[in-house]
A and B are shown apart, each in its own frame.
Chain A
Amino acid sequence: MRPLDYIAPKDAKEAVDLLLENSDSSCPLAGGTDLIVDLKHNPGNITMLVDVSCIEEFRGIKEIEEGLKIGSMVTFGEIMSSELCQKYIPAVIEGAHTVGAVQTRNLGTVGGNLVTCVPSADSAPSLMVLESIVTIIGTDGYKSMPIEDFFIGPRKTILKSHELLVNILIPKKNLSKPSKFLKHGLRKGQALALVNAAASMYLNKSDIISEPKIALGAVAPTPLRALKAEAFLEGKKYSEEVINEAAEIAVSEAKPIDDFRSSAKYRCDIIRTFTKRVLIQSADQAKQKN
């Protein structure tokens, strides 16, 4: 690796100031599982790392009045072993478990995964179907937004170069909501998703679907909510035909590409199958709760 400066600021404000003062040459460092690889092979103009991983404000998983707050620098390993996550957001744990392997999950952070913003980010779909709110910090202080608004394009978020992701809030109304995440990769460990998918929904005693949410990864420039499929499902009575129809609509909303991992046509087949599976498994959970 070529020579670099390394600074570990004590708090978020100091980190933002450092990144602003050195906006041409600096980059925030989270878990490093993507960034350190880039720096070894394709460093660009980065000569200074601002290590934000130990900033207290970005750490920890806390239950607060508004919901469950996950610090951006919480690792996937920490999410998987968190009792709060196991209790309230098992689909987020399912997503975390499919990231890399044990060693990378102990370094890699949920915030780093979201900020890196690849379309296949495994933490995104579950957080999206639980309507998570992200909070960022910059020179103007804090700003919050729905997680979908955070993603702009492949490897591009709404963050300016000096801004940082602070935390992710899963709203209280969606804690313990029936939900499911699935990923299709070429092997179980150390593989990027060809397609990943998550769903959440409620069913009432008469099997009427409410608040269905579907999110898909690696099928468009950013992780995608299948809004038309969701609108179709809202208020419908749960049945195999309704789920099949929703899956067809989800396929029509996705814009998968051909690449060296998979053809677009194969991705469409996976989207159809996985949308069905995450919906059916969410519904099964909802039925058990009734």
Chain B
Amino acid sequence: MKVEITVNGEKKIADVSPETTLLKMLRDEFDLTGAKLGCDVGDCGTCTVVVDGESVNSCLMLAARASGSEVLTIEGLATFQKLHPVQQKFEDLGALQCGYCGPGMIMSAKNLLDKNKSPSVDEIRDALAGNLCRCTGYTKMIEAIQEAAKEINTTNAL
């Protein structure tokens, strides 16, 4: 079946079988391999992408369901000149180790900051509850997200 979606601002069309998940379509049809296949059951969150402004597990969403939607993936955050503030702060503070959870973690964090300009630690923990990291212990990620929030707010205020 034909699926038309906008990915990172670009209109794309793919012909996929009906059981294809959004994650599989992004990776196999569009070569957007940022979102990862982890648990494949909606627990680990490394497949997280933003669909029409809401973060979802792309392993649990059929591509057909996303037809007509605007999808944002990790590839849509940075430009060649500049990382997104969340990405930059994750790098500055060493918030990732192996990095496998990173794309999902950063998309969840980005989506949180779009909705909540100055989240508390509890709010950040709540927003990251669906993203598992087995390396870090989360502390530096939470600091990085708070730092990113400060930077975004400062930039917006200028």
Contacts and interface: CB of A to CB of B under 8 A. Distances in A.
B92 to A, nearest CB: 25
Question: Chain A interface: which size bin?
Answer: 20 to 34
A51 B60 contact: no
B108 interface: yes
Most chain A beta-carbon neighbours within 10 Å: one of B18, B19, B54: B19
B17 interface: yes
Interface residues of B, number: 29
Contacts of B40: 40
B126 A4 contact: no
- In this complex, which of A2, A53, A100 has the most chain B Cβ atoms within 10 angstroms of its Cβ? A100
B119 interface: no
A51 B42 contact: no
A5 interface: yes
A239 interface: no
Interface of A is mostly: mixed
Interface string B42-60: 1101001000001111011
- Pick the most buried of B61, B111, B129: most chain A CB atoms within 10 A of its CB: B129
Interface of B: 1, 17-19, 21, 40-43, 45, 48, 54-57, 59-62, 64-65, 108, 111, 125-127, 129-131
Given A32-B60, A102-B130, 10 more contacts: A1-B19, A4-B19, A6-B19, A32-B61, A32-B62, A39-B19, A51-B65, A103-B48, A107-B61, A189-B129
